[in-house]
Amino acid sequence: MSKNRNNRLSGEMKRVIADIIRKEVKDPRISDLMSVTDVNVTEDLKFAKVYISVYGDSEPTLEALQSAKGFIRREVGRNIKMRITPELIFVKDDSIEKGIYMSSLIDKVINKEAGKRDDNETESE
């Protein structure tokens, strides 16, 4: 399968899965502050990794999605016409936390450099 087709299918699955979770899955363990950040479909269309970002504790949301994955898969098959509906694998997406951590490290370095410049300017005067 071409890379372009795989990317389009991943994007369409991302949209459909997010709609299904938001509108049709009625599990109270699923956080309102949850989003589907990405979907990666394998070349043979047997598996799809669904990356989930949750604000706060993500474990109850991931457990709820695991228990509803058969329903979600069936609904994906109904909404997207495919010969094979991939098995869904829900994965916590921690890229946002990693980005925040990297941003804080960068801010620390900038503040440290600014402190050194201030020290150098006061010594030269």
Per-residue pLDDT of 36-95, as tens digits, reads: 999 999 998 899 999 999 888 889 999 999 999 999 999 999 999 888 899 999 999 887
- What are the tokens at 122? 């006061």
72: Cβ–Cβ under 8 A, 6 or more apart, which residues? 17, 20, 21, 25, 65, 88
Give kind and range of the element (H or E) at residue 112: helix 95-124
Tell me what the pLDDT averaged over the chain comes to.
Answer: 88
Cα distances from 124 to residues 2, 110, 113, 116, 121, in angstroms, run: 63, 21, 17, 12, 5
pLDDT (0 to 100) of residue 121 = 65
SS3 118: helix
pLDDT (0 to 100) of residue 52 = 93
Q: How confident is the model at residue 11 (pLDDT cuts 50, 70, 90)?
A: very high
Instruction: Answer whether 0.95 is exceeded by the pTM.
Output: no
- Residue 38 and residue 80: Cα distance in Å, rounded? 17
